[in-house]
Amino acid sequence: MASLQAVWGVDLGRSALKAIKLRPAGDGKVEIIGHDYIEHAKILSQPDADRHALIAAALEKFLSRNDLSKDVVFVGVPGQQTLARFTKLPPVAPKRIPDIVQYEADQQIPFDMDEVIWDYQTFQEEGAPDLEVGIFAMKRELIREHLLHFEQAAIEPIGVQSGPLAVYNAAHFDGLLADDTTMLLDIGAENTDAIIATKESFWTRTIPIGGNAFTEALVKSFKLSFAKAEALKKTADSSKYARQIFQAMRPIFADLVQELQRSVGFYSSTHRDSEIQKLVVFGDAFLLPNLRKYLQQNLDMPVEQPSSFASATGQTSDVLKDHILSFGAAFGLAIQGLDQAKVKTNLLPTEIAKQIVWRKKRPAFGAAAACLLIAGGLVWFRQTTDMSALAAGAVGVDTISVNNDQAASIIDNGPSPSLGPRAKAIQVLRAGKNLKSQLSALTGQGSSERSQTETLIQLQENKRTVPRILDIIHNSVPLETGELAKAQTPEEIRAIVASGKAPPRGERKHILITGIDMSFEPNIRAYDWTSVIAVPDPINSHSIDEEDDLPGILVKIFCQTPNAEGAAYVRDSLVANLRNKGRVPGTGFYIDHLILLSGEKVIDDAPAVGRGGRGGGRRSQPTGAVLPQSRDPITDEPIETDWKFEVWASVILDEMPDLDNEVPEEE
């Protein structure tokens, strides 16, 4: 349900504070009922800038001009301080998704989980079977530092969102996304957020080039101070030295285009069916003349520059019109505060959220406490009266004691007849407690020893399982034939390839295991063991169909091969060998299911930012990493035509059942 309360979206940037206040207007629209643009006296990243003092001054000015007492606030954090990872989920039941995402987050986030605040959201394109998850995180110390400025200004936000996600929410709500794929570009002072998006999902990357890079280019070329270079940049279009100014900034234009082309190339390699139709730009950097035209010519796609928010009414201020491009993130933050955003992740630390809720409920708790105090007084008065009446019969109660020998006799024969009614009751009660204490002591004896014994037995039974699984995988990898089979070192391999004695790369008969991941699963049946790439029976025949939970080991094998047959070669060699060698009676375990979960052409060590493996286990490279050349590290041959695969196997910790559809083991 959409919020009826007005919401401020506050984007505290490096060059200015941008804030916009929205409330629902019906028919899928919102009304702008307030906004503010406060430029810092210095850009926060300047060497001589007192960052904390500048932020405090901006927030103080913001509060002096706007009353937030009846409104809620949603704030943004810079994209370069947040981590975004995207991965496809394995086919699992919906109730298992949180557990799988928790595992993926642990694999994808390169920090201790106690050091970060993270959240996730799932995406699924209409008509597509794959479910994708976006995991978004920020180090706890960075988010606390950011929120400290608001706390010191007595502003209590209800949510925190990353800048790129806020821009996506704004574009999605405002109808800026094309039917296929759109690139959103938000150029800030220090960094540029590139968001490649559809109406159902997105991928984001932060590029370390911003408006300051253009200013620094002018500083270097004309030997100016930063402040004078910034002023020159803003007036470049009207300057008589316009040609020289743009010539000085041209290398930055080229670097930005190169990074954008690299992002588009990576996204296209992992989303082959997508075609980017247009570029939508945000940020005051686009006030620079010719930047929009330069991008349009070099990226070969139309570039749109919004002049207003199409889904909002009340846009009458000249300040808002002049800086509309810099309000994208603030607009998206307010949209999320109204509960009308596509992406609903929230990086507000739980402990801070609880404090805010507690403070808002404190007045109501005070009134309730007063009522309870009055009611408690009445109860206390009645209890005091009753206790006074009982006190007369309570003489000697404190001296009553019951030992182990007396307890059973008191329960069997009753309390001492010389005691008063209340003292008799106390004696029986203490005898019962004594017997209960004895029972607990006897029941607990030996429990820790039993637990340790069972653990030791289990360890002895399973300690050889993992080495045996690794041995099966090792023996299942096909071996190269011919001259390459004789090579023992990388130097020998290079020499054979260089001499032309090796078969063409696409005809070679080897598979390289690049990674293995194993995890114990209480119920291996929770996974959908349907192979993405056809693996016919009996390789993937299901041996057990009961509904009960079945414990086992989930084995993920990451491999690649130069063989041109790709999936068919991996299936008929590695997967078939695993099936045969993993189903030998008497080993205490067996491989039940085998599937080829994914297969695609190799992009050598490409940063897994936009699309991780569907089983995880591999850490993505940092956002913005440079794509290396796609060459074989040993032979230096191009590997663009190589294939990489992910094979999943379920290992059942039990003796293999007697099945009719078994194939004989390879000799």
Work out the average pLDDT over 72-79: 95
Quick one: pLDDT at residue 617? Answer: 35
Confidence of residue 547 (pLDDT cuts 50, 70, 90): low
With beta carbons less than 8 A apart as the criterion, state whether 8 and 69 touch: no
Q: At what angle do helices 226-234 and 242-270 cross, to 10 degrees?
A: 80
Is a pLDDT exceeding 80 seen at residue 25?
Answer: yes
Phi-psi region of 341 (alpha: psi -120 to 50; beta: other; left: phi over 0): beta
Phi, psi (rounded to 5 degrees) for 609: -85, -40
Quick one: pLDDT at residue 270? Answer: 82
- Residue type at 367? A
How far CA 245 is from CA of 229, 249, 534, in Å, comes to 10, 6, 59
Tell me the CB-side half-sphere exposure of residue 106, using CA atoms within 13 A: 8
| Strand stretches in 156-313, DSSP E | 159-162, 181-187, 192-197, 202-207, 276-282, 303-304, 312-313
Quick one: pLDDT at residue 610? Answer: 32
Quick one: pLDDT at residue 148? Answer: 93
Look at 51-60, 268-277, 294-303, 437-446 and tell me which has the smallest mean pLDDT. Answer: 437-446
Q: What is the pLDDT of residues 111-149, one digit of tens each?
A: 999 999 999 999 887 777 778 899 999 999 999 999 999
- Cα angle for residues 245, 248, 254 (degrees, 5° grid): 120
**Which distant-in-sequence residues (6+ apart) come within 8 Å of 421 by Cβ?**
393
Only one residue has tokens 């509060």, namely: 63
Work out the average pLDDT over 253-268: 92
Most confident of the following: 391-395, 409-413, 641-645: 641-645
Quick one: pLDDT at residue 624? Answer: 36
Most confident of the following: 56-60, 262-266, 467-471, 583-587: 56-60
Confidence of residue 413 (pLDDT cuts 50, 70, 90): confident
Alpha carbon 522 to chain centroid, angstroms: 24
What percent of the chain has a predicted confidence (pLDDT) above 70? 83
Is a pLDDT exceeding 80 seen at residue 373?
Answer: no
Confidence of residue 362 (pLDDT cuts 50, 70, 90): low
Q: Which residue has the higher pLDDT, 615 or 559?
A: 559
Burial class, 369, CB count within 10 angstroms (exposed 0-12 / middle 13-18 / buried 19+): exposed
Pairing status of strand 312-313 against strand 29-39: parallel
Is a pLDDT exceeding 70 seen at residue 364?
Answer: no
Q: Which residue has the higher pLDDT, 397 or 432?
A: 432
Question: Residue 83 is inside which H or E element, if any?
Answer: strand 82-88
DSSP character at residue 483: G
Tell me the CB-side half-sphere exposure of residue 195, using CA atoms within 13 A: 30
Quick one: pLDDT at residue 454? Answer: 61
Question: Residue 554 is inside which H or E element, if any?
Answer: strand 552-561
Work out the average pLDDT over 6-20: 95
Is a pLDDT exceeding 90 seen at residue 33?
Answer: yes
Only one residue has tokens 């400290």, namely: 148
Buried b (16+ CB within 10 A) or exposed e, 408-424: eebeeeebeeebeebbb
Question: Residue 423 is inside which H or E element, if any?
Answer: helix 421-444
Q: Which residue has the higher pLDDT, 613 or 336?
A: 336
Only one residue has tokens 């210095």, namely: 42
Quick one: pLDDT at residue 635? Answer: 85
Confidence of residue 616 (pLDDT cuts 50, 70, 90): very low
Buried b (16+ CB within 10 A) or exposed e, 279-297: bbbbbbbbbbeebbebbbe
With beta carbons less than 8 A apart as the criterion, state whether 532 and 595 touch: yes
Per the structure block, which two tokens stand in for 584?
């030998």
Phi, psi (rounded to 5 degrees) for 183: -100, 125
Quick one: pLDDT at residue 655? Answer: 83
Is a pLDDT exceeding 60 seen at residue 395?
Answer: no
Quick one: pLDDT at residue 378? Answer: 62
Most confident of the following: 34-48, 155-169, 234-248, 536-550: 155-169
CA-closest candidate to residue 77, choices 162, 169, 14: 162
Is a pLDDT exceeding 50 seen at residue 542?
Answer: yes
Q: What is the pLDDT of residues 191-203, one digit of tens each?
A: 999 999 999 999 9
Quick one: pLDDT at residue 620? Answer: 35
CA distance 163 to 77: 6
Sign of CA dihedral 226, 229, 235, 236: negative
- pTM score > 0.85 for this model? no
CA-closest candidate to residue 415, choices 391, 406, 405, 439: 406
Average pLDDT, the chain: 83
Confidence of residue 13 (pLDDT cuts 50, 70, 90): very high
Work out the average pLDDT over 322-331: 94
With beta carbons less than 8 A apart as the criterion, state whether 45 and 212 touch: yes
Question: Residue 22 is inside which H or E element, if any?
Answer: strand 16-26
Phi-psi region of 643 (alpha: psi -120 to 50; beta: other; left: phi over 0): beta
End-to-end CA distance of the chain: 65
What percent of the chain has a predicted confidence (pLDDT) above 90? 41
Look at 135-149, 477-491, 532-546, 578-592 and tell me which has the smallest mean pLDDT. Answer: 532-546
Per the structure block, which two tokens stand in for 613?
């493996």
Please list the alpha-helical segments (H only) found in 241-349: 242-270, 291-299, 318-322, 328-337
Per the structure block, which two tokens stand in for 340?
């009308």
Confidence of residue 400 (pLDDT cuts 50, 70, 90): confident
Confidence of residue 4 (pLDDT cuts 50, 70, 90): low
Q: Which residue has the higher pLDDT, 215 or 46?
A: 215
Quick one: pLDDT at residue 435? Answer: 81
Work out the average pLDDT over 72-96: 90
Q: Which residue has the higher pLDDT, 611 or 167?
A: 167
CA distance 576 to 526: 24
Pairing status of strand 276-282 against strand 303-304: parallel
